[in-house]
Structure 1
Amino acid sequence: MFFYAAKLIWFLLQPSAALLIALAGGVLIIGLGGYRFGAVLVLLATVGLLVAGFSPLGPALLLPLEERFQRVEPDGPVTGILVLGGGIDQHVGERRGTIELTEAGDRMTEAVALARRFPEARVVFSGGSAEIISDGYTEGAAARRFFRAMGLPDDRVTIEDASRNTAENARFTAALVGARPDERWLLVTSAFHMPRAMGSFRAAGWSPLPWPTDYRTRGSEDLYRPIWRPSLGLSLVDVAAKEWVGLLAYWLTGQTDALFPGPFRDPGA
């Protein structure tokens, strides 16, 4: 139930959609004679689109997320590499008969690099279908083909393809792998997603080492740069807003160990 409610609520709350709906609503209200209220909606939506599209609002929201966790170099043998879904487009890939990476494809390429760096480590991919109405294609199946194409043998790769969100990634993978406290696992996901991912895995009783990738900002310098592609600005705001809303929702429903998980677990969590 949480999965479906989250999908519906986020569709309405994502900033780009909310602003466009407000803009269209304002125009409609003006057409129906509600000039004052309609004009206010149009003005607010227009200002919101301009700010989100051209200002460094997106980087400002993303930076605290991306800087929260740094890569932790393992101090001994690595048992396994955990790769979260989101980096591969199973729908386009299946239709085209190819392997298609998404904007978060660094998750997949970094996993391969780590697999070659630590040849004894297992590779575990977690990702099913995040669609409300599934077409039968899962990220897990596409990931299997990707890792084969990269030269990793099937017996080294474990696929968990039932999870639909980060909380399920953590629970299902923990149950599948059964990691022990003395093992070292690296968690590979986008830097902006790492706080929610680490909190979810800790809530599931597992504390892997963070290995963030797929950075969307260059650093604090982006706070002083305008964005010249409004589609990029809106995209960054949407990505950041989803993570902040997700952190709050996961904390309220007990699916993460802290409101804003950090490098060191809160002893009182």
Structure 2
Amino acid sequence: MKTATLLVLPPASLAVGAILWLALTLAGWRRLARLALVLALLQTLVLSFPPVADALTETLEAKARRLVTVQPSCCYDAIVVLGGAMAPAAPPEVMDPDLGEAGDRVWQAARLYHAGIAPTIITSGGSDNNLKGGPATSEAEAMRRFLVDLGVPDKAIVLEDKSLNTIQNMQNVRALVKGGRILVITSAFHVPRAAKYAELAGLNAAFNGVDWSRPAELRPPWENWIPDPGSMAWSCRALRELLALAFDRRAEKLAP
């Protein structure tokens, strides 16, 4: 599913359109070849406009607002931080983890831990990289290091460092919490899919969303008419989530 969505969305869809253009041109279907290329270019242009990114992202964030616990209160058995917040270290080239765009997930977990919301934080995220000098540090370990820097005791952190996607996050967390009440922290756009998978897995889970998109009112009106890479990234991120919600059937195996 992930590979398919990557191929149908920019920038990979531009390469697909160019390959189709070349293949169809060589086959003598010039009109169809031009259509394939124009559609790929048009898709990239449309998804790069800020209002389009806003509309797609709001579709997910509106659902998230109905699902999240805005001001969590005591007590949960554990706070669960889903992977995607940090890039793991990859020794010997990269010795330290790198905080990503979704780093708010880790900040929020530390805040809620210090507020006494739960006695334990579960960091969930593995790594499929194997570089010379040893395996890359997992996302879970990267988040653990950051949480310790934020004052969370090491003994309060449990690593779930095997999962490579949201489905595996839920499977592996279920084995750790054994029916306990958990608060899952993830980016707002990801909340609808994570909540769906948690329900399928039978988890007793509430959600706290972070990394909300910036309101359109904060940018000058003229910027709405200028395509930009950031808007294209938000559009593609939202479309990947929407496509996974609609068509990814792998999550059905989560049922206990």
Instruction: Give 2:239's aligned amino acid.
Output: A
Residue in structure 1 matched with residue 2 of structure 2 by the alignment: 7
Match of 1:49 among 39, 44, 49: 44
TM-score, normalised to structure 2's length? 0.83
Match of 2:124 among 119, 123, 126: 126
- Measured in 1, the distance between the counterparts of 2:112 and 2:73 equals 15
- Aligned pair 1:21/2:16, yes or no? yes
- Measured in 1, the distance between the counterparts of 2:168 and 2:185 equals 16
Does structure 2 retain, via aligned residues, the 8 Å contact 1:125–1:140? yes
- Measured in 1, the distance between the counterparts of 2:237 and 2:191 equals 13
Matched residue of 1:151: which SS? coil
Residue in structure 2 matched with residue 116 of structure 1 by the alignment: 114
- Aligned pair 1:186/2:186, yes or no? no
> Residues 94 and 228 from structure 1, CA distance in 2 versus in 1: closer, same or farther, beyond 3 angstroms?
farther
Deviation per residue, 1:228-267 (Å, 9 max, x gap): 352112211210111011112345752578xxxxxxxxxx
Residue in structure 2 matched with residue 246 of structure 1 by the alignment: 244
Does structure 2 retain, via aligned residues, the 8 Å contact 1:63–1:219? no
Does structure 1 retain, via aligned residues, the 8 Å contact 2:79–2:118? no
Instruction: Give 2:215's aligned amino acid.
Output: R
Name structure 2 gaps, 5 residues minimum: none
Q: Counterparts of 1:1-269 in structure 2 under 5 Å?
A: 6-26=1-21, 29-30=24-25, 34-70=29-65, 71-72=68-69, 73-91=71-89, 95-118=93-116, 121-129=119-127, 131=128, 134-135=130-131, 136-137=135-136, 138-180=138-180, 183=181, 185-218=182-215, 226=224, 228-251=226-249, 253-254=251-252
> Residues 142 and 55 from structure 1, CA distance in 2 versus in 1: closer, same or farther, beyond 3 angstroms?
closer
- Measured in 2, the distance between the counterparts of 1:96 and 1:252 equals 33
Does structure 2 retain, via aligned residues, the 8 Å contact 1:16–1:234? no
Task: Flag the structure with higher strand content.
Answer: 2
Query: Alignment identity in percent?
Result: 27
Does structure 2 retain, via aligned residues, the 8 Å contact 1:250–1:256? no
Matched residue of 2:84: which SS? coil
TM-score, normalised to structure 1's length? 0.80
Number of matched pairs: 246
Matched residue of 1:202: which SS? helix
> Residues 186 and 238 from structure 1, CA distance in 2 versus in 1: closer, same or farther, beyond 3 angstroms?
same
Q: CA deviation at 1:173?
A: 0.4
Name structure 1 gaps, 5 residues minimum: 1-5, 258-269
> Residues 168 and 98 from structure 1, CA distance in 2 versus in 1: closer, same or farther, beyond 3 angstroms?
same
Deviation per residue, 1:33-74 (Å, 9 max, x gap): 543222212222222221111252222111121121234134
Deviation per residue, 1:128-181 (Å, 9 max, x gap): 12x4x654322122122222222222210001011111111011101112133x
